[in-house]
Amino acid sequence: MSDLPPPQQSLRTGLSVHALIAAGILLLVVLTDGSAAKALGIAGAYFVLAGGWSALKAWRAARAMRERDRSVVGGDG
């Protein structure tokens, strides 16, 4: 059984926050006349990695909750 605490925010909220941060990276690069192609790659990589990590944490927490519920319903012995 996992000892992860329940997520403090939903997966949708987490992905939205990561998308806003990725957009902020792009905006910062546009405002500073940087390379848009490189910034798009970095922002995309950030979103995929951070979003994947959030999704993994949400999946693990949901799996732990299902196992916890199953052990309560089924009994321990």
Q: pTM score, two decimals?
A: 0.75
Q: What is the pLDDT of residues 48-76, one digit of tens each?
A: 999 999 999 989 888 888 888 888 776 55
11 lies in a domain?
no
45 lies in a domain?
yes
Give the whole-angstrom CA distance, residue 52 versus residue 14: 10
42 lies in a domain?
yes
Total domains in the chain come to 1
Give the whole-angstrom CA distance, residue 45 versus residue 5: 27
Give the whole-angstrom CA distance, residue 32 versus residue 74: 60
40 lies in a domain?
yes
26 lies in a domain?
no
Its domain, for residue 55, covers: 35-67
Percent of the chain with pLDDT over 70: 84
Q: Is the pLDDT of residue 42 over 60?
A: yes
17 lies in a domain?
no
